[in-house]
Amino acid sequence: MRWLNLQPGDEVICSTLTFSASVNPVLYERATPVFVDCDDISWNMAPALLAEAIEHRLKQGKKPKAVILVHLYGQSADIDPIAATCAKHAIPLIEDAAEALGAVYYGTAQRTEDSGQMTTAKSSSVVRPPSSGVAPGSVGLCGVHSFNGNKIITTSGGGMLTSNNAKLIDKARFWATQARDPAPHYEHSEIGFNYRMSNVLAAIGRGQLRVLEERVDARRRNCAFYQAAFKDLPGVAFMPEANFGRCTRWLTCITVDPRAAGTDREKIRLALERENIEARPVWKPMHLQPIFKGCPAYGGAVAERLFENGLCLPSGSNLAESDLVRVVEAFRKAFDRR
């Protein structure tokens, strides 16, 4: 955000369905976020709505200074049309891939004809090699990654900035290490941050990178287990795996349609909690958050519905089958109690 040289009143377009950390840096630089809704295909930013939002902002005489695209819950957004829209208007694209390390985006060239449609568990099990796609976070001006404790690879805390722009990386490294000017003494002509990762933590992260594919397999196995176990439950649906990518299933996310299910997300969450099993609602959209009150928003109904009906199930890479069985039994009890 600092690289963009934002001024108060400048606008940055952001995904509304995300964690607040995607958006806070816009406020650190005193600019204003403008929120765009997600779609049902990938739960990520809706490409057509983004195009509309940009056109509308341009008509207001406010050209967005950047788009922050989030790749949620281990699934790539549909990057190609979004990158094309950004390129058309010369707006920098920044990718928040904090939840998507290990995910793959195959892109337009790789699409099948039903592209962009929801895939069933069966059709999405056609596994294409990750090497035939790109990593979310590697397409835009830069990508941000997280190694926080809950991510697929963790160094307990910290993250990573990636870019093909060497000047940007050099400047980010400068700012992240207390902005020390090149001099034998401590000389400062800019205000910096202590945003660097320690060498010890970086070493731990590099070790885990080697087992990333195994972690993805484990997370996908969790999801497949839940899918098989809840097949007969009415009103329970899983986050679709869009066929333009490979989702890591970092978290297994479901939605519960209360009318079909006869129970709801919250009753199920509480039933799990009673058995000491933590499950959390899907992200509360940013356009509903007190800190972002008054910021412009385009759409929002899809994200609101996912928040209302969505639940993230226990999804750790180290869950044993007995753990999954325990979750499934507690979950099914909520249905038995209808």
Ligand X SMILES: *Cc1c(COP(=O)(O)O)cnc(C)c1O
Binding site for ligand X (CB under 6 A): 18-19, 21-22, 70, 96, 98-99, 146, 148, 159
Rounded Cα–Cα distance for residues 26 and 12 (Å): 7
Q: Closest CB to ligand X among 147 and 335?
A: 147
Nearer to ligand X, 34 or 236 (CB): 34
Shortest distance (Å) from residue 189 CB to ligand X: 27
**CA-wise closest residue to 36 among 65, 69, 4:** 69
Q: What CA–CA distance (Å, rounded) separates 43 from 30? A: 28
**Min CB(239)–ligand X separation in Å:** 15
Smaller CB separation from ligand X, 159 or 192: 159
Pick 10 or 95: Cβ nearer ligand X: 95
Q: Is 301 helix (H, G, I), strand (E, B) or coil?
A: helix
Length in residues, the chain: 338
Q: Report in angstroms how near the CB of residue 70 gets to ligand X at its nearest.
A: 5
**172 has which bridge partners?**
none
Please state the closest distance from residue 314 (CB atom) to ligand X, in A. 17
Min dist. Cβ of residue 197 to ligand X (A): 10
Q: Residue 313, Cα to own-chain centre: how many angstroms?
A: 16
Query: Hey, what amino acid is at 98?
Result: A
- Cα–Cα distances (Å) from 23 to 1, 19, 113, 225, in that order, read 10, 8, 34, 34
Smallest Cα–Cα separation from 23: which of 87, 88, 75, 68?
68
Looking at the Cβ atoms of 144 and 297, the one nearer to ligand X is 144
Find the shortest distance in angstroms from Cβ 143 to ligand X: 11
Residue with the CB atom nearest ligand X in the bound state: 146
> Which is closer to ligand X, CB of 19 or CB of 175?
19
Instruction: Give the up-direction half-sphere exposure of residue 73: CA atoms within 13 A in the CB hemisphere.
Output: 30
DSSP designation for 239: P
Angle of helix 265-274 versus helix 321-336 axis, rounded to 10: 130
Closer residue to ligand X, CB minimum distance, 10 or 96? 96
Quote the Cα angle for 293-68-197, to 5°.
105
As measured in angstroms, the least distance from the Cβ of 150 to ligand X is: 7
Looking at the chain, list the stretches that DSSP marks H as alpha helix, in order from N- to C-terminal side.
Answer: 24-28, 47-59, 79-88, 166-176, 199-209, 212-229, 258-261, 265-274, 301-309, 321-336
In the sheet that holds 280-281, the strands lie side by side as: 236-238, 252-256, 310-313, 280-281
CB of 173 to ligand X, least distance (A): 17
Smallest separation, CB 18 to ligand X (Å): 5
Question: Which CB sits closer to ligand X, 99 or 241?
Answer: 99
Query: Looking at beta carbons only, is 148 or 178 nearer to ligand X?
Result: 148
Cβ atoms of 47 and 79 within 8 Å: the answer is no
